[in-house]
Amino acid sequence: MPLLEVRDLRVQYRTEDGPVYAAKDVSFSLDRGEILALVGESGCGKTATAMAIPRLLDHTSATIGGSVLLDGTDLTTLSEKRMQDIRGKDISVVFQEPMTSLNPAYTVGKQIGEVIRRHTGKSRAQVRERVVELLELVGIPDARQRAGAYPHELSGGMRQRVMIATAVACDPKVLIADEPTTALDVTIQAAVLDIIARLRDELGTAVVLITHDLGVVAEVADHVVVMYSGRHVEHSPAAALFEQPQHPYTLGLLNALPARAVRVTGRRRLTEIPGMVPPPTDDPDACQFAPRCTRATADCTAHRPALGTVAEHHLVACHHPGPGETA
């Protein structure tokens, strides 16, 4: 049985213009110690999908459908009180911007310690030692002294490490990392990714990584789900995605990588995907990528392609899948 299994997940927002689906029938599973990346351009539904897992979406405007099973228990059926016990202990989240996620009025040690106290029976002295241990785990020097620092006294990279330390304070089964390397310089990005990989290796934590950076995916991910307009259009092992991409949208994303652009086309100019992403209110029974796709035929606009198997563990939702040089 997978550690985490997401089945036909739907996230619907209520708006003045009517219901909008941010995630539409998304399914994937994750075993212990695996890293799964959700990739796609902004607005494709990555964050809505990931935040629906621990039910962190605003319940006054968002409705979650489908099922999310953690060790066989459907989280969508649990009470909010039960979910509060699960968040931070079994499932933790590293948010995109640590400066807005950390409380400026409390030291970082107090904020990490609060999570430990909430979910364990440790004494004050044990909590203090655990805080120092966690800060050392994520590579913060002078950990005992840094525990008494406030968020504004730390650099962006340090704050991101504090967020990771807070998220893994209770050895969660699943870690959700939302764009953990955004706005960090290359050196700090590499350090953060190394920390996530080390936590996976040392603690057996499964990781759902939200990113639009395919370089990050190539570095750490075991499996990849490519999303477009709220749906998953390709799902495969990371190596297969880079070696044999099948969906035209995936090819478009890969062709936007500078190194690939030079290798495939011999030019330094990146290949862009023509057209625009459809509005979130638009959900026809058709391939939503068809207006931007050079492979599109009449059947692409006649009905939506189902997710089908093209190779072992490699799924794609396309009427005309296959590798190619351009999208």
Domain count, the chain: 2
R_g of the chain, CA atoms, integer Å = 21
User: Are residues 181 and 189 in contact, defined by beta-carbon separation less than 8 angstroms?
Assistant: yes
Let me know if residue 327 belongs to a domain. Answer: no
pLDDT tens for 58-94 read: 888 899 999 999 999 999 999 999 999 999 999 999 9
* Residue 223 half-sphere exposure toward CB, CA atoms < 13 A: 20
312 Cβ contact partners less than 8 Å away, ≥ 6 residues apart? none
252/307 same-domain check = yes
Write the DSSP symbol of residue 179.
S
Let me know if residue 273 belongs to a domain. Answer: yes
74/149 same-domain check = yes
Let me know if residue 229 belongs to a domain. Answer: no
Extended beta strands in 181-271, E state: 206-210, 223-228, 231-237
pLDDT tens for 245-274 read: 999 999 999 887 776 554 555 555 667 888
Which domain covers residue 300, as residue numbers?
Answer: 245-316
Let me know if residue 240 belongs to a domain. Answer: no
Let me know if residue 196 belongs to a domain. Answer: yes
Let me know if residue 206 belongs to a domain. Answer: yes
**pLDDT, position 139:** 85
The encoded tokens of residue 16 equal: 């003045």
**pLDDT, position 260:** 57
310/190 same-domain check = no
99/181 same-domain check = yes
Give CA–CA dist 301/167, Å, rounded.
44
Per-residue pLDDT of the chain in tens (327 residues, 90 and over written 9): 899 999 999 999 988 878 889 999 999 999 999 999 999 988 899 999 999 999 999 888 899 999 999 999 999 999 999 999 999 999 999 987 777 889 999 999 999 999 999 998 899 999 999 999 999 988 899 999 999 999 999 988 889 889 989 998 998 999 999 988 876 778 778 888 888 888 888 888 999 999 988 888 988 999 999 999 999 999 999 999 999 999 999 999 988 777 655 455 555 566 788 888 888 888 889 999 999 998 999 999 999 999 999 999 999 999 999 986 543
Let me know if residue 177 belongs to a domain. Answer: yes
Give CA–CA dist 310/317, Å, rounded.
10
How many other C-beta atoms can be found within 10 angstroms of the C-beta atom of residue 271? 19
Let me know if residue 231 belongs to a domain. Answer: no
**pLDDT, position 97:** 77
Write the DSSP symbol of residue 277.
P
Chosen domain end from 166, 189, 221 = 221
Write the DSSP symbol of residue 207.
E
Residue 207 belongs to domain with CATH number: 3.40.50.300
86/23 same-domain check = yes
Give CA–CA dist 72/305, Å, rounded.
29
